[in-house]
Amino acid sequence: MTMTTVATNPPATAVARPWRWRLRDERSLFLLGSALVALHVVDDSFLQPPAGTSAIDHLASGLVPLALLAAAAWAHGRSRSGWRGLLALVVGVFGVGIGALEAGYYTAAVGPSGDDFTGLLAIPAGVLLVGLGAVTLWRSRRRDGSMLRRVIRRALLALAGVLAAFFVAQPVLFAYAVTHIQRAYVPADRLGVAHENVSFTTSDGLRLQGWYIPSRNGAAVVDFPGRLGTQAAARMLARHGYGVLLFDRRGEGRSQGGGNLLGWGGDKDIIAAVDWLKKRPDVDPRRIGGIGFSVGGELMLEAAAKDPDLAAVVSDGAGARQMLEEKKSLGGGTFWVMSPAFVLLNG
């Protein structure tokens, strides 16, 4: 009896394939979007800081967001789908916010330049991440259990998202806007009187530019802040013979420095303006005053307390100069996020 042996192939085994970066992967998309957001942070803080400042001036405001983005990237690869979706949403909202608020404003006001290009790039990157987060959360939703239980769970998650947006995302983005955006242009000249284009330097090395109406009575007034809402007062003072100096504050218009709507550091601008007026041949150094509106009124009082050469001031609309004084107006819960965000993102 002849026996025939038939050889059979062993069962196929899975062969490990090397990892490849694929654009359609959830993690690849997250890393791409996060990298584009981080690129703008690096560009804004270190590669192209505001004129008159250096990368060293922005260490905290640049390194902390970068560290948080790196932590999000690390956590994304080690988290369950629900947390991955949440991380994508958070980073996405931040990317859209910083791009639209800063780069979007300056592009609309004066056209894109400098770090505006990476800021505009952060907007679609943020949209990508928001979409990725929404899809990830939708795919990870639970389908087991009763319908009522699933509805309650999803309603609670939605409520948690709304609260997080109000108490965390909103105050952080507001703080970013306040510390990164100033008027980008020089307003139309409606003074109606002869004046000079002037510039002077602050004690911390920033070059500020503005207009000066020469004095006819030996006295002069620093009209602050900026060259937009101050022109009516300048016209009134000029009619009575006063010299008037109005200028773009730091980070505004054609002046150097980083933007800050809170006015931090603005007392140096006023003191530098007083020092410049003291050297004018048409001004008696003992007859220099100041008029300030809103945050300018606050800074005028602050500068007068530091500079004895500021003989008299008018403060119109002065408010608080400390964050704790603003706690009530900022809104209880948001204050505790907004206050440190102001400090951190300012420099």
Q: Tell whether 346 is covered by a domain.
A: no
Are 31 and 135 found together in one domain? yes
Q: Which amino acid is at 283?
A: V
CATH number for the domain harbouring residue 203: 3.40.50.1820
Looking at the structure, do residues 129 and 47 belong to the same domain, yes or no? yes
User: Last residue of some domain: 107, 124, 141?
Assistant: 141
How many domains are contained in the chain?
2
Q: 225 vs 142, which has greater pLDDT?
A: 225
Has residue 11 been placed in a domain? no
131 and 203 together in one domain:
no
For residues 227 and 310, membership in a common domain is answered with yes
The residues facing 291 across adjacent strands are 223, 314
What per-residue string of b and e applies to 53-92 under the rule 16 or more CB within 10 Å gives b? beeebbeebbeebeeebeebbeebeeeeeeebbbbbbbbb
Does the residue 172 lie in any domain?
Answer: no
Contacts of 315 (CB under 8 A, 6+ apart): 292, 297, 298, 300, 301
Residue 22 vs residues 18, 66, 77, 324: alpha-carbon distances, Å: 12, 24, 15, 49
Question: What is the reported pTM?
Answer: 0.86
Cβ proximity of 80 and 88 under 8 Å: no
Q: Rounded to an integer, what distance in angstroms lies between the CA atom of residue 90 and that of residue 87?
A: 5
In a domain, 191, yes or no: no
Question: What is the SS3 assignment for 249?
Answer: coil
Q: What is the pLDDT of residues 200-239, one digit of tens each?
A: 999 999 999 999 999 999 999 999 999 999 999 999 999 9
Residues 225 and 123 in one domain: no
Half-sphere exposure of 181 (CA within 13 A, CB side): 22
Crossing angle of helices 26-42/81-98, nearest 10°? 30
**Domain annotation covers residue 104:** yes
Q: How confident is the model at residue 326 (pLDDT cuts 50, 70, 90)?
A: low
Query: Which of these three, 117, 141, 165, is where a domain ends?
Result: 141
| Together in a domain, 46 and 132 | yes
Give the end of a domain, one of 141, 163, 187. Answer: 141
Quickly state the pLDDT bin for 140 (edges 50, 70, 90). confident
Name the pLDDT band for 331 (thresholds 50, 70, 90). low
251-276 confidence digits (pLDDT tens):
999 999 987 888 889 999 999 999 99
Q: Does residue 342 belong to any structural domain of this protein?
A: no
Q: Which domain holds residue 50?
A: 26-141
In-domain check, residue 235: yes
Residue 256 forms part of a structural domain: yes
For the stretch 17-56, pLDDT in tens is 444 545 569 999 999 999 999 999 999 999 999 999 999 9
Same-domain status, 302 and 217? yes
* Residues 266/299, Cβ–Cβ less than 8 Å: yes
